[in-house]
Amino acid sequence: MGNVNVNIGIIGFGTVGTGAIKILLEKKKELKEKTGINFCLKKIADLDIKKERHIKIDKNILTTDANEIINDESIDIVVELIGGINPAKTFILNSLKNKKNVVTANKALLSEYADLIFQTAAENNRIVKFEASVCGGIPILKVLSDGLTANRILNIYGIVNGTANYILTNMSKYGKSFDEALKEAQIKGFAEADPTFDIKGNDSVHKLAVLATLGYGINVKAKDIYCEGITEVTALDLKYAHKLEYEIKLLAIAKLHNHNLDLRVHPTLIPQKSMLAKTDFENNAIYITGDAVGPLMLYGKGAGMMPTASAVVADIIDIAKKMVNNSLENGIYYFNKQPLNIYPMFALKTKYYLRFSAKDKTYVLANIAKVLSDSGISIASLLQTETNEDGSAVIVIMTHPAIEKSMISALEALNKLSVIQGKVFALRVEDEF
């Protein structure tokens, strides 16, 4: 491969943009030695170009107008790192229409408009790469689109949000309350000032949409995915889970059932002995099973300036190599001609963890067992803790596999029992590790 120049324009000079620029500048010589390509940072656009980023750059390449990059005929690759839907969508689509290849980390945009973006890329014979949109520096999308091409993906289980995982780890290891663990995550920079997007599961939903789109070749949107956050999980739930030899993690789950795809994000009990359960604090992990390769797991830093920037630059390099070899066809963007159906949540069959407070009377368990039995749910194990000062007892039940629709019906009936105090709290269980 001869020495060639590839010109890059970056839109967004925030945390990830700063990291990507840092790598491109500081490793410019090393990257050229490895690839034979001279990566030229031609222009950087951001609304604030006066903020100090502690990077030595030519001020003349800074602009507040992204269109200076999009309309510059000399720029080969546009890197979008501003996030959000608009104006990022417009920037990406216009870049593709101007015959530029695109790198983005925008999971929210991809979870809504992947089909439009892929179609526009194909129509203009250009590439969109987005490794940094899921799990920071973990090359999971490369694995799905290239390394596992020979496989039918049977399932994907992901701990894909570092904020939620940091909170749950603190609650699990140190018995901290949700609020205490969240506050510590914010102090240490692992949670935003407004953490809603992370703790409610929305961020994980966007990432699962991207994973499922690549893994199964269908157009998955955020609205297709069931979502529950971690805000109702207590330190007691972690304590009881441990007694049952489980850990609780916020999981992004995609599972194949014949021609149906089960897609959901929720806090989940998983076996303590599993590798996934040992993914602690801000780390991410993806557990995948392919029909040929079997189970495998990728683990690492799921966020942060440099891990995410590493993925951005890897995409830039990948596109540059394809440009040099004149191979810009976007093969990974072809969806299945016979699309899978989204599995309805009410048809899900899984084990459940139930936790509730009840009056400490001899007939209580009989009443609870009858309600569950009437809904077709059988009890696998029962854990009764100490009696509270008000005379109530916390009861934890693990069920045998049951249908979600039946469990919803059972929970409604249980919550109406006079012996139950407060609402019954339920979590799903996954044992496939």
CATH code for position 227: 3.30.360.10
Query: For position 2, what pLDDT does the model report?
Result: 56
**Residue 337 banded pLDDT, cuts 50, 70, 90:** low
**What pLDDT digit, counting tens, does each position of 214-243 carry?**
999 888 999 999 999 999 999 999 999 999
**Residue 327 banded pLDDT, cuts 50, 70, 90:** confident
Query: For position 340, what pLDDT does the model report?
Result: 82
Does pLDDT of 338 surpass 90? no
Domain assignment present for residue 226? The answer is yes
Query: For position 161, what pLDDT does the model report?
Result: 97
Residue 244 and residue 350 share a domain: no
Query: For position 68, what pLDDT does the model report?
Result: 98
Query: For position 59, what pLDDT does the model report?
Result: 93
Residue 144 and residue 32 share a domain: no
- Tokens 């006079």, residue located: 418
**Residue 333 banded pLDDT, cuts 50, 70, 90:** low
Residue 145 and residue 90 share a domain: no
Does pLDDT of 263 surpass 90? yes
11-32: average pLDDT: 97
331-340: average pLDDT: 62
CA distance 159 to 153: 17
Query: For position 210, what pLDDT does the model report?
Result: 96
Domain assignment present for residue 340? The answer is no
Q: How many domains does the chain have?
A: 3
**CATH code of the domain covering residue 380:** 3.30.70.260
**CATH code of the domain covering residue 54:** 3.40.50.720
**Residue 258 banded pLDDT, cuts 50, 70, 90:** confident
Domain that holds residue 250: 140-300
Residue 328 and residue 218 share a domain: no
Query: For position 390, what pLDDT does the model report?
Result: 75
**pTM, entire model:** 0.95
Residue 120 and residue 210 share a domain: no
Query: For position 386, what pLDDT does the model report?
Result: 67
Residue 373 and residue 354 share a domain: yes
Residues taking part in catalysis: 207
CB atoms within 10 A of CB 22: 18
Mean pLDDT, the chain, rounded, equals: 94
317-343: average pLDDT: 77
**Residue 259 banded pLDDT, cuts 50, 70, 90:** confident
Three-state secondary-structure class, residue 85: coil
Query: For position 387, what pLDDT does the model report?
Result: 73
The residue type of 118 is F
Does pLDDT of 291 surpass 90? yes
Residue 290 and residue 175 share a domain: yes
Residue 266 and residue 183 share a domain: yes
**What pLDDT digit, counting tens, does each position of 366-400 carry?**
999 999 999 999 999 999 776 777 778 899 999 99
Least confident of 27-41, 149-163, 338-352, 384-398: 384-398
**What pLDDT digit, counting tens, does each position of 158-199 carry?**
999 999 999 999 999 999 999 999 999 999 999 999 999 999
Query: For position 329, what pLDDT does the model report?
Result: 63
Residue 93 and residue 42 share a domain: yes
